[in-house]
Structures are given as structure tokens and as C-alpha cells.
């Protein structure tokens, strides 16, 4: 446990004292490295075999993470970055900071995903989460728009789920996306800066539904023994969020970085993902998913734009969203 | 005469503040490759100005009757109430928004009462919601600024007015209005500039992308698009607005108003009749509006207290140490600058107000770029946070101290000089006792603001530098809303305790 309140200076001294063990710096988002996230178990598991010191450096969310790597550029201390959202991989690749990961493709995604630079370590479907007491949850965006249900969504300009929703509507409706947003306008109670504000508002009863993940009800069921939440299955399919890890080209520990990426998609690390990150593992688990996950909806159709397409469409799709809602 | 060394140190301090705010923006700009504003930035600028102007005007308009009622009435628990009323200003923004929603939201008591009365529900989302939230957050600050103004009117002026048979309206015109004229522009500017950098409140309660502010555009530019040029341009727009508003304030603020009194307590009279009822109503409404959401925050936090993760306590310790240090740093700087401004170095007023319009994110990014190649950012997380928090709190302290420092100079400057009282002796015998009240209040505010700050630490934080606001955010980000509410309650309680301690110290040391 890292509960001893060491001042920053002491942290430096401690690093110096242990200078003979190699240090692997892993940049990740906040909730990955939190004590209740997958970070601690993965750190313990990897350190047991690597003979190294794994250090997590955290930066906000998936977008902040990439910004941090870009701020530091080639001088970055980072060896591996864990937690970039697929909607941002095109931008990440364009920085030229990342090197091929060299791992075999993962097999646990509903569609083939093979990328030489970025290795998926978990994924999920976006979905609108509601209380089971809600009568007749909508089965599509059109039904939602036609209803008088109230929803809370995240802003695509400041959060990755918000961006995921914009891409979802775009992937499902193409040129009709603006029309769908215009229809949804009177259902939207408000747009929050991030996922946690939106989910908090939903739990406080400010809205009937919130944009989250199909796996959100599993948290309430498994961690809180509360089976009152469900995700609405949409007929047009559900857009996916795939979270990827990448190896920095300028890493001073390339061999350790490779070993870490291999460990990240191994059964031991993947087993930790479902009940800490509340996402699906990127490789099938030998022991299967934890009890409770079988109650979740299984979308029949998965949507995900090709990375280049997502990168090219992003700005226009966000502008379309903004124009439709600002009217 | 003020010593040359004093002038030079004040000037250096002003330059350091300007360097931290403008310099960090320049540092960000220096790494830019492209310079252009987005198509929606004009709309964001308009909305930002509109909501900031409305929020400042409404806060000022409501603060006048409230501060006046508090100034002229004496009742049991009055000083306790005055301190409690400051609490909304101390709340971290996310906590304040959730507290407001607990009262005014769809499932809150206000809408329950409307529904029971057969009335249509009230939606808090929209421009009015943004203004309500900003008034909730800033009314306490303006009220305290004005209340200090009322307390600073010498009691014998009111005696004289009564002896002359002046009714309350004439007293208002001859005594209270001149005081308000000298304070309101500064108070308006403070709230306006504070709302200029609003991000989470405006977006969450604004109801959609119509309510986009400049700060959101900066966030988007830095975090999503990594467009340093656009972020720096937007920061420059914010600085320009800040300088313009501060200059306008400077022109609109008249000089010394009253001259010295003999420091007798008593002050403004308490007119009977309907005015009694009106004052009671003003205080009652303010209590309901300001303390209702606070109560909701408490009730939300209590159930989770037992299940808090152990990391709360070291995070709390770090936050408290950080906020005390940055409050002391900020108050020393504000005092130095305010005294220097009264001695004629008036350009320092703009330097002292600059941080209000600084985007914490731009400042953090600039500092990050400045230190990164040479030093590991995590090892600087706490010192950088300390410095940035002190800088961000400086304008409030400065705004609170300046009117009193001006009065001090006008009333006691010549006497002190004729007695040859200078340097440390003057500070100890004249300046500190006369300024203890705003200094204590301001230092308390600075401590509380620093406790609740999230901006910079999030960019620099490593494993062992987690502060309490960061922990609250991390808990919320991991579905743990109950634990987050409890940690927020701990945060609010600690902020308030710090504020209380400094404010009491000031009131106890005050010479009046």
C-alpha cells in the first residue's frame, strides 16, 4: 500500500536508493492506477517476475494522457502509455512518439482488431444506463428522441465517452446524424464536462438515463449487490470504446516495456480488468467472466469506425453535434 | 517615507505574479505551431461575457440588502451566521453543483413543493442556472466585502446623522451610498473575472453547448486537440478582458471617503418598523438560499463516512499543509502589493488582479513546459501547486485589503510619518492591527480556496502527491459516489475549519 505520506522529495531519494533495479515508467489515467483500479494488482503481478520497479504516473483521463505524452515529447520518461481511447489513436500515431508493440493480436473483441502500434487491453460498449423501474426503455436513438425521457450526456470536447457518443450517432446514422441530434435536443437535461459528473447526476435522480457503458450495471450488482440498474439495448448497434496501450519509441527500457505489454494482455492481468476497470478483457479469460456479467445486455451489432476514418470525421462530427444542440 | 527597499520588493513581487500568469501563457504559446481560433470561439466569448456580467450584477444587487441587514441588526448567533454564510464560496465547484442540484434539481425539495402545489416543475438548466450557481458561490464574498465597508464607516458619522434627524433614506444617500460607490466596482470586477474562467459550473448547469465558455475551449484545445496556439490565444483574450475590467474599476473607484473616526463601535442604526421586517426577510432568504445546498452536501456525505478509503487521511494532511502554506504566502504578497498601491505604485493593481483571469490549466501547462526537460514534474507537484494556489488566491486578498489599506493611508499615514513610525514598528503598531480583520478573513478564504483547488495538481500529481480534491475526483470516476460525497464532506469541513480559524484570528486582533 502506498499510504505513507511521503513528500515528493523523499520519493526522489527513494528512487535514487533503488537505482540498481531498473524502473519502468507507465503513464496511465487516474482511475487505472487508483487503489481500487486494476493498477495495484497488475503492478504486483508484473513486479513479481520482472525484477524491476513499475511506476505509474497518472494524468486525468485518456485524452489528458496523450496530451501529457505530447507535452513531454521525446524527452518523456514514459516507457509505456496505457489507456488511450481508440478515437484518439490516429492523433497518437501522428505524433510519431510510439513504436510497434510486437505482440500477437488480441482475440477477445467482437471484431478483429490488429494494430501494429497500439495494443488493446480492454473494451466496452457505450450504452444508456437506466433504472429497471423505467417502463419501456427506448430501443433506438429514434425512439429515445420521440420519447420525453430525460438524459444526461458528456461533452465530446472534454470527455472520451462524450466523443464516443458523437461517433456512435455518426457511425449509425451517417448523414442523418444532425437530424438525430436535433431530435434528441429536448431530451438532454444537460451536458457535463466528464463521465463522473454525468453519472453522479443520474444517480441523484436528475435524469432517466445517462450515457455510460453496458457494463455499468455490473458494478452496482457486484460491488453494491444492487440489481436495480440496466443498460438499454439499441437496435442500430452499440459503439465500442477500445482502450489501448502503446510503447514509446524513446523508451530507455524497451525490453521491459515489451515484457509489460505481454503481461498486460496475459490471463493474469486480464482477469483483474472486469471487476476493477468494469470493462471487458481484450483476451478471453480461461476462467470466464466473473459472475454477474452474464446478466448484462449483449448488443447484436458492434460499431467502431476505422481509426483513420474516426480521426478524419471527429472535428466535423463534433461541430455537427454542437450546431444541432446550440440552435 | 516608505523605504526604497519596500518599493523594490513590491515591484519584484508584482513582476513575479505577472511572470507566473503571463509568462506561463507565453511559454504555452512558445510551443505552438499554429495560430488560429476555432469557429465556435466567438460564441463562447459572447456567452462567457454575458454570464459573467449577469452573475456579477446579480451578486452585487443581492449583496447590498443582505450586507445592510447584517450591518444594522444585532441578534443571537449573528457572528456565527456571518461566518457560515461564507461557506458556499469555499466549496469545491463539483460539490457546490451537486449541492445546488439536491435543492433545485428535478428530484429536489423545490420541485417537490411546486408539484405539491400543482405548479409546473422548474428547470435549473440554462443561463439562469449558471447565474444562480455563480451567485450562490459569489454572493458570500461580495456580502463580506460590503459588510466590511459598513463596519468601516466611523460610528460618529451615523450619530451625527441621527442628531441631525436624518431618516434612513438620507443616511443611505450621504453615508452608505458613497461607501458602496467606492466598493461595488471592485466587488463587481472580482466576481466578473472569477466567472470569466468558469468551466464546470457553466457547462453542467448551462444545459448544453450553448453554454460553452472560453475556459472550456482552452480545456478542449489543450487536452483533446493539443493545439497550444489556440489555447494561448484564448488565454490572451482572457488576460485582455481582465486588464480592461481592472482598468475600468480603477477609473470608477473614488478615493478616500470618510476620514478617520474615533473607533467607537455602534455604527449604523437599526431602524424599527417595516424596515425591521425587510431586514429579517433578506437574512432569512439568504440563509435558505446559501445554507440549503450546504445542508444537502452534509446529508449526502454522512452515510459514506464510515466506508472511506484510508488514503483520505494522508491526502487530507497534504491538502491542509499545502493550503496553510499557500494562504500565508498569498496574504504576505497581497499585503505587500496593497500597501505599495496606496503608496502610488498603482500599476501593481493590475498585476495583482491578473491571476483572476488566468486559466489554471494554461498556467499549469506553461509551468510544466518550463520545468519538464530539466526536472521531473512529480517531484515539483507540491511546490508548484503551492505557488499557483497562492497566486490564484492573491486577487481576492488584494481586493479585500486594498480599500482598508487606502483608508489606513488616508487616515493614519500623515500621523505615522510625523511620528517617524516606519518599517517593522509601523507594520506592528499601525498596519497589522488596522488591517487584521480583512487580513484574517482573506487568509481564511485563501486557505479554503487552496484546499478545494484541483486545477494544477492534476497535471503534476504522481503516486505520492494525491490531494483531497483529487481523491474526490478519483472516487467519483470509479462509480464510488457515496465515498466521494463523504470525502467531499471531509474536504468541506476541513476548508471551513481553516477559514474559521483565520477569520477568528483576524476578528480578535482587529483594532476596532
Asked whether A100 and A318 are in contact (CB, 8 A), the reply is no
- Closest CA–CA distance from residue B153 to any residue of chain A (Å): 45
d(C-alpha A229, C-alpha A221), whole Å: 8
Q: Which of A22, A13, A7, A122 is nearest to A77 (CA)?
A: A22
Residue whose entry in the numeric block shows the C-alpha cell 459550473: B201
Q: Which of B48, B475, B70, B451 is nearest to B290 (CA)?
A: B70
- CATH fold of A8-123+241-295 reads D-Maltodextrin-Binding Protein; domain 2 (3.40.190)
d(C-alpha A215, C-alpha A231), whole Å: 8
The shortest CB-CB distance from A157 to any of B101, B220, B380 is to B220
What's the length of chain B?
A: 512
Backbone angles phi, psi at B3, to 5 degrees: -70, 155
More confident residue, B381 or A299: A299
Check CB contact of A167 with chain B, cutoff 8 Å. Answer: no
Give the other-Cβ count within 10 Å of A146's Cβ: 12
d(C-alpha B320, C-alpha B386), whole Å: 11
Check CB contact of A90 with chain B, cutoff 8 Å. Answer: no
**pLDDT at res. A238:** 97
Of the CATH numbers 3.20.20.80, 2.60.40.10, 3.30.360.10, 1.10.3720.10, which one belongs to the domain with range B4-509? 1.10.3720.10
Q: Which of B486, B455, B454 is nearest to B98 (CA)?
A: B486
Segment A24-42, tens digit of pLDDT: 999 998 888 888 889 999 9
**Residue spans of chain B under pLDDT 50:** 1-2, 512
The shortest CB-CB distance from B462 to any of A57, A63, A192 is to A57
Q: How far apart are the first and last CA of chain B?
A: 26
The shortest CB-CB distance from A325 to any of B208, B459, B478 is to B208
Element (H, E) at A53: strand A53-58
**pLDDT at res. B36:** 67
Give the contacts of A303 (CB within 8 A, at least 6 positions apart). A168, A171, A172, A236, A237, A238, A239, A240
More confident residue, A109 or A86: A109
Q: Which A positions 30-89 lie with beta carbon below 8 A of chain B?
A: 30-31, 33-37, 55-61, 63-64, 66-68, 70-72, 75, 77, 88
pLDDT band with cut points at 50, 70 and 90 for residue A127: very high
**pLDDT at res. B454:** 63
More confident residue, A296 or A3: A296
Cell numbers for B86? 461564507
Q: How far apart are the first and last CA of chain A?
A: 51
Cell numbers for B187? 466587488
CB pair distance less than 8 Å for A34 and B458? no
Residue whose entry in the numeric block shows the C-alpha cell 524491476: A52
Cell numbers for B206? 448551462
Residue A15 clears pLDDT 50, i.e. is over it = no
> Domain limits of chain A?
8-123+241-295, 125-239+298-326
d(C-alpha A255, C-alpha A79), whole Å: 10
Sign of CA dihedral B432, B433, B439, B443: positive
Report the pLDDT averaged over residues A120-145. 96
pLDDT band with cut points at 50, 70 and 90 for residue A262: very high
Same fold yes or no, A8-123+241-295 and A125-239+298-326 = yes
Residue A97 clears pLDDT 90, i.e. is over it = yes
Give the contacts of B12 (CB within 8 A, at least 6 positions apart). none
Q: Which of B467, B365, B322, B327 is nearest to B21 (CA)?
A: B365
Q: Tell me the three state secondary structure of residue B255.
A: coil
Residue of A66, A196, A205 to mutate, testing the B interface (most B Cβ within 10 Å of its Cβ): A196
Residue A224 CA from chain centroid, whole number:
22
**pLDDT at res. A175:** 93
SS (H, E, C) A55-121: EEEECCCHHHHHHHHHHHHHHCCCCEEEEEEHHHHHHHHHCCCEECCCCCCCCCCCCCCCCCCEEEE
Residue of B319, B463, B479, B482 to mutate, testing the A interface (most A Cβ within 10 Å of its Cβ): B479
Give the other-Cβ count within 10 Å of B120's Cβ: 8
Alpha helices in B87-220 (DSSP H): 87-90, 93-104, 109-116, 127-152, 155-163, 168-171, 177-196, 200-206, 214-219
Q: Which of A108, A63, A53, A89 is nearest to A281 (CA)?
A: A108
Backbone angles phi, psi at A57, to 5 degrees: -115, 125
Q: Which of A243, A247, A242, A244 is nearest to A25 (CA)?
A: A247
Q: So what CATH class is A125-239+298-326?
A: alpha beta
d(C-alpha B342, C-alpha B326), whole Å: 24
Segment B273-297, tens digit of pLDDT: 777 788 888 888 888 888 889 898 8
Strand partners, A56: A26
d(C-alpha B14, C-alpha B243), whole Å: 14
d(C-alpha B33, C-alpha A291), whole Å: 51
**pLDDT at res. B3:** 64
Q: Which of B216, B467, B469, B357 is nearest to A194 (CA)?
A: B216
**pLDDT at res. B480:** 85
Give the other-Cβ count within 10 Å of B309's Cβ: 18
Element (H, E) at A32: helix A30-33
**pLDDT at res. A153:** 96
Residue of A1, A59, A203, A204 to mutate, testing the B interface (most B Cβ within 10 Å of its Cβ): A204
Residue B331 DSSP class: H
Residue whose entry in the numeric block shows the C-alpha cell 448497434: A237
CB pair distance less than 8 Å for B311 and A3? yes
d(C-alpha A200, C-alpha A194), whole Å: 10
Residue A20 DSSP class: T
Cell numbers for B126? 440554462
Calculate the average pLDDT of chain A: 89
d(C-alpha A101, C-alpha B87), whole Å: 52
- Closest CA–CA distance from residue B220 to any residue of chain A (Å): 5
pTM of the model: 0.84
Amino acid at each position: 500500500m502506498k499510504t505513507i505520506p511521503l513528500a515528493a522529495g523523499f520519493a526522489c531519494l527513494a528512487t535514487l536508493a533503488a537505482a540498481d533495479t531498473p524502473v519502468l515508467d507507465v503513464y496511465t489515467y487516474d482511475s487505472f492506477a487508483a487503489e481500487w483500479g486494476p493498477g495495484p494488482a497488475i503492478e504486483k503481478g508484473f513486479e513479481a517476475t520482472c525484477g524491476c520497479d513499475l511506476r505509474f504516473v497518472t494524468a486525468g483521463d485518456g485524452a489528458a494522457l496523450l496530451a501529457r505524452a505530447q507535452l513531454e515529447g521525446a524527452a518523456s520518461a514514459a516507457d509505456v502509455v496505457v489507456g488511450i481511447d481508440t478515437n484518439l489513436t490516429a492523433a497518437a500515431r501522428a505524433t510519431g512518439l510510439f513504436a510497434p508493440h510486437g505482440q500477437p493480436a488480441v482475440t477477445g473483441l467482437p471484431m478483429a482488431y490488429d494494430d501494429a502500434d497500439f495494443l488493446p487491453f480492454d473494451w466496452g460498449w457505450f450504452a444508456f444506463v437506466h433504472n429497471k423501474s423505467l417502463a419501456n426503455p427506448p430501443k433506438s436513438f429514434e425512439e429515445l428522441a420521440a420519447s420525453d425521457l430525460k438524459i444526461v450526456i458528456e461533452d465530446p470536447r472534454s470527455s472520451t465517452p462524450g466523443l464516443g457518443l458523437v461517433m456512435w450517432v455518426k457511425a449509425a446514422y451517417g448523414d442523418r446524424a444532425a437530424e438525430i441530434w436535433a431530435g434528441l435536443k429536448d431530451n438532454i437535461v444537460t451536458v457535463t464536462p466528464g463521465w463522473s459528473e454525468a453519472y453522479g447526476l443520474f444517480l441523484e435522480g436528475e435524469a432517466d438515463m445517462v450515457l455510460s457503458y453496458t457494463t455499468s450495471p455490473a458494478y452496482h450488482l457486484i460491488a453494491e449487490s444492487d440489481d436495480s440498474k440496466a443498460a438499454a439495448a439499441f437496435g442500430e448497434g452499440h459503439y465500442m470504446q477500445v482502450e489501448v496501450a502503446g510503447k514509446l519509441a524513446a523508451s530507455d527500457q524497451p525490453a521491459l516495456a515489451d515484457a509489460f505489454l505481454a503481461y498486460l494482455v496475459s490471463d493474469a492481468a486480464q482477469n483483474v480488468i472486469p471487476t476493477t476497470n468494469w470493462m471487458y478483457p481484450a483476451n478471453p479469460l480461461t476462467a470466464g467472466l466473473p459472475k454477474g456479467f452474464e446478466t448484462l445486455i449483449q448488443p447484436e451489432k458492434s460499431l467502431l469506425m476505422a481509426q483513420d476514418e474516426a480521426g478524419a470525421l471527429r472535428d466535423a462530427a463534433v461541430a455537427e453535434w454542437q450546431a444541432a444542440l446550440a440552435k | 517615507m516608505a523605504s526604497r527597499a519596500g518599493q523594490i520588493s513590491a515591484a519584484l513581487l508584482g513582476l513575479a505574479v505577472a511572470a507566473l500568469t503571463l509568462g506561463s501563457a507565453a511559454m504555452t504559446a512558445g510551443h505552438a505551431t499554429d495560430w488560429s481560433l476555432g469557429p465556435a470561439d466567438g460564441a463562447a466569448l459572447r456567452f462567457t461575457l454575458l454570464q459573467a456580467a449577469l452573475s456579477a450584477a446579480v451578486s452585487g444587487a443581492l449583496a447590498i440588502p443582505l450586507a445592510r441587514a447584517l450591518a444594522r441588526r444585532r441578534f443571537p448567533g449573528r457572528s456565527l451566521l456571518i461566518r457560515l454564510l461564507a461557506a458556499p464560496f469555499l466549496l469545491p465547484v463539483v460539490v457546490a453543483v451537486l449541492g445546488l442540484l439536491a435543492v433545485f434539481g428535478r428530484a429536489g425539495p423545490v420541485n417537490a413543493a411546486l408539484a405539491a402545489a400543482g405548479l409546473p416543475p422548474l428547470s435549473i438548466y440554462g443561463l439562469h442556472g449558471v447565474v444562480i450557481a455563480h451567485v450562490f458561490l459569489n454572493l458570500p464574498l461580495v456580502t463580506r466585502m460590503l459588510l466590511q465597508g459598513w463596519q468601516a464607516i466611523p460610528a460618529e458619522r451615523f450619530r451625527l446623522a441621527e442628531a441631525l434627524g436624518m431618516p434612513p433614506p438620507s443616511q443611505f444617500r450621504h453615508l452608505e451610498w458613497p461607501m458602496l460607490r467606492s466598493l461595488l466596482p471592485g466587488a463587481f470586477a472580482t466576481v466578473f473575472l472569477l466567472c470569466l474562467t468558469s468551466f464546470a459550473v457553466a457547462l453542467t448547469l448551462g444545459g448544453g453547448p450553448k453554454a460553452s465558455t472560453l475556459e472550456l475551449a482552452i480545456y478542449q484545445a489543450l487536452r483533446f486537440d493539443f493545439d497550444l496556439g489556440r489555447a494561448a490565444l484564448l488565454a490572451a483574450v482572457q488576460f485582455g478582458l481582465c486588464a480592461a475590467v481592472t482598468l475600468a474599476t480603477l477609473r470608477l473607484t473614488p478615493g478616500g471617503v470618510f476620514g478617520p473616526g474615533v473607533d467607537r463601535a455602534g455604527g449604523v442604526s437599526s431602524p424599527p418598523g417595516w424596515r425591521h421586517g425587510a431586514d429579517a426577510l433578506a437574512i432569512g432568504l439568504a440563509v435558505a438560499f446559501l445554507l440549503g445546498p450546504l445542508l444537502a452536501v452534509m446529508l449526502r456525505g454522512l452515510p459514506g463516512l464510515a466506508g472511506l478509503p484510508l488514503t483520505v487521511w494522508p491526502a487530507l494532511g497534504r491538502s491542509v499543509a499545502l493550503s496553510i502554506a499557500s494562504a500565508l504566502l498569498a496574504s504576505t504578497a497581497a499585503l505587500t502589493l496593497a500597501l505599495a498601491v496606496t503608496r502610488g505604485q498603482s500599476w501593481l493593481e493590475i498585476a495583482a488582479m491578473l491571476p483572476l483571469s488566468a486559466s489554471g490549466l494554461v498556467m499549469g501547462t506553461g509551468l510544466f513546459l518550463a520545468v519538464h526537460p530539466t526536472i521531473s514534474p512529480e517531484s515539483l507537484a507540491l511546490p508548484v501547486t503551492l505557488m499557483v494556489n497562492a497566486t490564484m488566491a492573491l486577487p481576492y486578498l488584494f481586493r479585500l485589503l486594498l480599500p482598508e489599506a487606502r483608508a489606513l493611508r488616508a487616515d493614519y499615514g500623515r500621523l505615522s510619518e510625523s511620528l517617524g513610525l516606519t518599517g517593522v514598528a509601523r507594520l506592528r503598531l499601525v498596519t497589522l492591527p488596522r488591517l487584521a480583520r480583512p487580513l484574517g478573513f482573506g487568509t481564511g478564504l485563501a486557505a479554503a480556496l487552496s484546499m478545494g483547488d484541483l486545477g494544477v495538481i492534476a497535471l503534476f500529481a504522481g503516486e505520492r502527491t494525491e490531494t483531497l480534491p483529487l481523491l474526490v475526483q478519483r472516487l467519483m470516476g470509479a462509480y464510488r459516489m457515496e465515498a466521494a460525497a463523504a470525502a467531499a464532506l471531509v474536504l468541506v469541513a476541513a476548508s471551513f475549519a481553516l477559514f474559521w480559524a483565520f477569520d477568528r484570528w483576524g476578528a480578535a486582533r482587529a483594532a476596532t
